[in-house]
Amino acid sequence: MTEAKHSGSNPPNWLTGQLLIAMPAMGDSRFVQSVILVCSHTEEGAMGVVVNHPLRAPKFADLMSQLDVSPSPPRRELPLGVGGPVDETRGFVLHSADWISDTSLQVDDTLALSANLDILQAVAAGGGPEKAVLLLGYAGWGEGQLDQEMRQNSWLSVAADDALVFDTAYSTKWQRALAKLGIDPGMLSGAAGRA
């Protein structure tokens, strides 16, 4: 049996199901004030979706029509968001785990990620998961990259909750995520440093 390699005392998947909160000194402008749900964190890398960047166009009904998902118009609509800068034409439905398909990625006991038309057809017909959001694109990290960014204080992490993941009060999610840690955003410095 081989021993798993990981940094410090954290297991290799320690961020799966957690929310990442971008620090003010975030060097990548695509992630300024982002809140990202980590869907998978392994020794090979990590994948997550941004939950606080709304997408104004196209509208859900228009997207379903483009994908030839019926009925049209859909009986139920989902909020749309920008999931990240990788593969921005690919759609992912982040949803409650009360609806799962064979191809869904179970993030934790309460959340799952699906990237197939089955879930969109279920939603358009008025069913599907109780809570869901359709996100275009995702955020990805190579082997050890996210762990390194955590050590560099680029991100904070906090437990996910339904409001931060699913509500549409996008403009306050970053502040609310920090507040879960007892942090006032006004007290954070834009300069990174080490003690």
- Find which of 2-6, 125-129, 181-185, 186-190 is predicted with most confidence, using mean pLDDT: 125-129
**3-state SS class at 146:** helix
Query: Residue with structure tokens 């599907």?
Result: 128
Using CA atoms, how far apart are residues 127 and 3, in angstroms rounded to an integer? 44
* pLDDT over 60 at 69, yes or no: yes
Q: And the tokens for 143?
A: 């082997």
Q: What domain range is 142 assigned to? A: 18-180
Domain count, the chain: 1
Using CA atoms, how far apart are residues 84 and 30, in angstroms rounded to an integer? 8
Residue 3 contacts residue 29 (beta carbons within 8 Å): no
pLDDT in tens, 101-140: 999 999 999 999 999 999 999 999 999 999 999 999 999 9
For the chain, the C-alpha Rg in angstroms (whole number) is 17
Is residue 10 in some structural domain? Answer: no
Residue 91: partners with Cβ closer than 8 Å, 6 or more residues away: 63, 115, 120, 134, 135, 136
Is residue 115 in some structural domain? Answer: yes
Is residue 143 in some structural domain? Answer: yes
Is residue 44 in some structural domain? Answer: yes
Upper half-sphere CA count for residue 35 (Cβ side, 13 Å): 29
Is residue 187 in some structural domain? Answer: no
Using CA atoms, how far apart are residues 114 and 91, in angstroms rounded to an integer? 9
Is residue 12 in some structural domain? Answer: no
Using CA atoms, how far apart are residues 31 and 84, in angstroms rounded to an integer? 8
Helix (H) or strand (E) holding 48: strand 45-50
Is residue 5 in some structural domain? Answer: no
Q: What pTM was computed for the model?
A: 0.89
pLDDT in tens, 79-105: 999 999 999 999 999 999 999 999 999
